[in-house]
């Protein structure tokens, strides 16, 4: 009898959770500016499009959230120990884009878990960046950095322009990694998925292909290769 009661309570709780109504967006788009504590890491979740603009002082760190007014309370932007987390607290329904403009100092890591797209409105100057893309949204950034590491696990595409001394690209999924427009001195590529990878290198290009995605290389770098999958290594013209 106790087991039946527990099972019934579980089913009722599950039903109530499943039936939670989505919040429907109403009205026009409203901009809301929110001041932030200093941050150097970013985590983006949900159906939020984001853009990044670099500022000269941490005192200017802020976000501008653009969405239908009744949805604004559910779009959370919090800083915890230097990590800016942006997500949507409840299930929402809207036919208009949710946009967060981020104004901050150069960040050292960016994790994208949602379906929203991420872009930079101008070139971002930084020392080192780790990017992890796990969702279906696309990432397009213009960067100047000493070192950049990218891990692509989702179906979204990642594209870079700009320049870097060292570029490491790891592809584990169906998304494409396009960094031909980024001038790199040293490039390391590990391709385990079905998505294509493309990069430009001036000095060295080290590639390992274990999946079905093709790797395109450009530049006059010394080439080191290990081809174990069905993907091909091709020269980009």
**pLDDT tens per residue, range 69-125:** 999 999 999 999 999 999 999 999 999 999 999 999 889 999 999 999 999 989 999
pLDDT at 197: 99
Domain boundary among 106, 139, 163: 106
| Residue 183 covered by a domain | yes
| Residue 211 covered by a domain | yes
Nearest CA to 49 among 130, 166, 139, 129? 139
Main-chain phi, psi angles of 38, to 5 degrees? -55, 140
What pLDDT band is residue 235 in, cutting at 50, 70 and 90? very high
3-state secondary structure of 30: strand
Is 64 in the same domain as 101?
yes
- In which domain, by residue range, is 75 found? 29-106
Reply yes or no on whether the pLDDT at 18 is more than 50. Answer: no
Q: How far apart are CA 224 and CA 165, in angstroms?
A: 18
pLDDT at 154: 96
Into how many domains does the chain fold?
A: 2
Q: Is 5 exposed, middle or buried (0-12, 13-18, 19+ CB in 10 A)?
A: exposed
Pick the range with the lowest mean pLDDT from 14-28, 107-121, 156-170, 217-231: 14-28
Residue 235 · residue 218 · CB < 8 Å: yes
3-state secondary structure of 19: coil
**What tokens does 60 get?**
């200017």
19 or 105, which is more confident: 105
| Residue 16 covered by a domain | no
pLDDT at 19: 53
Residue 211 · residue 171 · CB < 8 Å: yes
pLDDT tens for each residue of 177-209: 999 999 999 999 999 999 999 999 999 999 999
Half-sphere exposure of 62 (CA within 13 A, CB side): 10
Q: What angle do CA 185, 127, 62 make, to 5 degrees?
A: 135
| Residue 20 covered by a domain | no
Is 199 in the same domain as 115?
yes
pTM: 0.89
């Amino acid at each position: 009898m106790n087991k039946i009661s527990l099972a019934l309570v579980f089913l009722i709780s599950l039903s109530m959770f499943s039936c939670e109504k989505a919040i429907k967006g109403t009205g026009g788009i409203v901009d809301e500016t929110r001041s932030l504590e200093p941050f150097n890491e970013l985590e983006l979740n949900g159906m939020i499009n984001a853009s990044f603009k670099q500022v000269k002082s941490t005192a200017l760190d802020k976000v501008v959230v653009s969405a239908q007014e009744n949805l604004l309370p559910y779009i959370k932007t919090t800083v915890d120990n230097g990590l800016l987390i942006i997500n949507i607290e409840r299930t929402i329904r809207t036919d208009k884009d949710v946009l967060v403009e981020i104004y901050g100092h150069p960040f050292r890591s960016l994790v994208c878990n949602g379906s929203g797209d991420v872009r930079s409105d101008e070139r971002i100057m930084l020392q080192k960046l780790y990017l992890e893309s796990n969702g279906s949204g696309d990432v397009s950034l213009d960067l100047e950095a000493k070192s950049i590491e990218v891990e692509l696990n989702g179906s979204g595409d990642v594209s870079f322009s700009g320049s870097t001394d060292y570029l490491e690209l790891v592809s584990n999924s169906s998304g494409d990694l396009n960094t031909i427009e980024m001038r790199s001195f040293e490039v390391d590529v590990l391709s385990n998925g079905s998505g294509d990878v493309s990069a430009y290198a001036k000095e060295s290009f080290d590639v390992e292909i274990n999946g079905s995605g093709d790797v395109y290389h450009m530049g006059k770098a010394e080439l080191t290769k290990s081809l174990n999958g069905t993907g091909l290594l091709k020269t980009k013209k």
